[in-house]
């Protein structure tokens, strides 16, 4: 049976559909500001935590330190993502943003283990804590974390690293609020057990925000369909293009945490002109942009192969 094969490849970054340089620049700036603010605060919180013998402050500082590492790692990844393709890396280093997100999740899991271990030790051997000082230092952290989280608010749905940073910083702000309350209560009641208890709460809050980041990062690192993209809807949209009879061999994956790619075979009606084929490809790409798929490779043919025994041939 005769077949006509043409391949079309294009990358688009139209505003309102895919998220390109503007979003990357905004996230890059937020990462720099957030890293500076949190580095300064971590130094203060660690020092005050050791000085006032507060596990809650030291645990929160450890969490904030992991956030600083995450922000710096994400910043490095975004810089690498801008490196142009090479003969050995034909997509450049865009995937480094996904690896950074996965590494950040692993760092947070290690932090959770360390905080839980130290909290259990403090429950066994309680130590005196200056509640008022703890509250003041944690209050400063509440302000820093809230400001830092707001930096990522606008782009939290556009990029996995921005989402991770936003979730972490919001969690930090809530934890800082909890430490403020605990510090005030300790200063009035002397209940030193609240200090390690807040350490446990910190670990639980971190786990909640880390789990989704870990699963999303693993999905993207294994070239799974990115969260937020409905593969069935993508196929339906392509079949809805005038002149397309069927769609097969559809693959969607993440090139980075901001760019998604697709390859697909379109089975076309017979006797379409070159102009009609070009028009339907433009229509297909436009529909895909609404699903945040900017890097598209389409192969067209006039009919399905009749000797294909499996869906993966």
Tally the residues of the chain.
313
**292 Rama sector, left if φ>0, alpha if ψ -120 to 50, beta otherwise:** left
**Residue-wise DSSP of 98-150:** HHHHHHHHHHHHHHHHHHHHHHHHHHHS-----HHHHHHHHHHHHHHHHHHHH
Q: What is the pLDDT of residue 306?
A: 46
All structural domains of the chain with their residue ranges:
6-14+226-301, 21-221
Shortest CA distance to 94 belongs to which of 293, 254, 288? 254
Q: What is the pLDDT of residue 84?
A: 80
pLDDT tens readout for residues 142-194:
898 888 888 888 776 666 667 777 877 887 787 778 778 888 888 888 888 88
Answer whether 144's CB lies under 8 Å from 170's CB.
no
CA angle in degrees (0–180, nearest 5) for 229-232-237:
90
- Could you check whether 6-14+226-301 and 21-221 share the same CATH topology? no
Topology classification of domain 6-14+226-301: Alpha-Beta Plaits (3.30.70)
Distance CA 109, CA 107 (A): 5
Topology classification of domain 21-221: Alpha-lytic protease prodomain-like (1.20.1510)
Dihedral of CA 184/189/191/194: which sign?
A: negative
Answer whether 97's CB lies under 8 Å from 256's CB.
yes
Q: What is the pLDDT of residue 227?
A: 81
Q: Which residues of the chain have pLDDT under 70?
A: 1-24, 63, 81, 127-129, 156-161, 209, 303-313
Tokens coding 201: 């709460």
Tokens coding 110: 């290690």
pTM across the whole model: 0.66
Strand order across the beta sheet in which 6-11 lies: 6-11, 295-301, 260-268, 244-254
pLDDT tens readout for residues 222-261:
988 988 888 999 999 999 888 888 898 999 998 887 788 9
**Residue-wise DSSP of 249-290:** EEEEEESSSS-EEEEEEEEEPTT--HHHHHHHHHHHHHHHHT
Q: What is the pLDDT of residue 308?
A: 52
Q: What is the pLDDT of residue 67?
A: 74
């Amino acid at each position: 049976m005769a077949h006509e094969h043409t391949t079309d490849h294009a990358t688009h970054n139209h505003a309102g559909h895919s998220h390109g340089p503007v979003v990357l620049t905004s996230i890059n700036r937020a990462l720099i500001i957030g890293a500076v603010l949190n580095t300064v605060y971590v130094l203060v919180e660690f020092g005050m935590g050791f000085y006032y013998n507060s596990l809650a402050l030291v645990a929160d500082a450890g969490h904030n330190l992991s956030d600083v590492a995450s922000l710096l790692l994400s910043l490095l990844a975004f810089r690498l993502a801008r490196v142009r393709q090479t003969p050995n890396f034909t997509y450049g280093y865009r995937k480094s943003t996904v690896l950074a997100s996965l590494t950040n999740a692993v760092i947070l899991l290690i932090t959770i283990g360390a905080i839980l271990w130290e909290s259990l030790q403090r429950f066994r051997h309680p130590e005196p804590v200056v509640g008022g000082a703890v509250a003041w230092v944690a209050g400063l952290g509440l302000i820093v974390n809230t400001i830092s989280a707001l930096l990522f608010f606008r782009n939290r749905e556009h990029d996995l690293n921005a989402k991770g940073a936003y979730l972490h910083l919001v969690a930090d702000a809530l934890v800082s609020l909890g430490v403020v309350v605990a510090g005030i209560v300790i200063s009035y009641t002397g209940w030193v057990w609240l200090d390690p208890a807040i350490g446990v709460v910190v670990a639980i809050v971190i786990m909640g925000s880390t789990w989704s980041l870990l699963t999303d990062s693993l999905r993207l690192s294994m070239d799974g369909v990115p969260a937020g993209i409905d593969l069935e809807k993508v196929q339906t949209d392509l079949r809805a293009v005038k002149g397309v009879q069927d769609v097969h061999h559809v693959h969607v994956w993440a090139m980075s945490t901001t760019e998604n790619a697709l390859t697909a075979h379109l089975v076309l009606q017979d006797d379409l002109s070159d102009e009609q084929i070009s028009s339907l490809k433009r229509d297909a790409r436009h529909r895909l942009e609404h699903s945040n798929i900017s890097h598209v490779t389409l192969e067209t043919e006039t009919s399905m192969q009749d000797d294909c025994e499996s869906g993966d041939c």
